[in-house]
Amino acid sequence: MKQISTIKTSDEDMDEYPEITQADFDRASYKVAGQVVNKEVWQQAVQTKLKKTKINITLDPDIVAYFKDKAGGRGYQTLINATLREAMNHHTLEDTLRKVLREELRHV
């Protein structure tokens, strides 16, 4: 394993940083894909991330650019995942079939 740093720190070095209090945590904002969210959404995103499967996927450049821009450059893959999850949860097969049938009936 590659060693990252050889710099040694001591307790004295840590004294220069203020102690983090509960009030600091209470004022903190939670972000998912670069957007501020409530604590529950953040916790769900953390749990989801821990269970993710790494894949390779090829996307059109404009799609990647859109999500990078929307996420502010970082977290765009998380945003793509959230978008896919939302589509999965909100667009059932039945809804899709209804939409297709309505479109086809308009052309008759």
- Can you read off the two tokens belonging to residue 75? 């977290």
Per-residue pLDDT tens, the chain, 108 aa: give them: 555 666 666 666 666 778 888 888 888 888 888 888 888 888 888 887 777 788 999 999 999 999 999 998 788 998 999 899 888 877 677 788 888 888 888 887
Beta bridge partners of 35: 32
- Delimit the domains of the chain by residue range: 18-106
Q: Global pTM?
A: 0.42
Could you give the CA distance from residue 30 to residue 14 in angstroms, rounded to a whole number? Answer: 25
Could you give the CA distance from residue 24 to residue 22 in angstroms, rounded to a whole number? Answer: 5
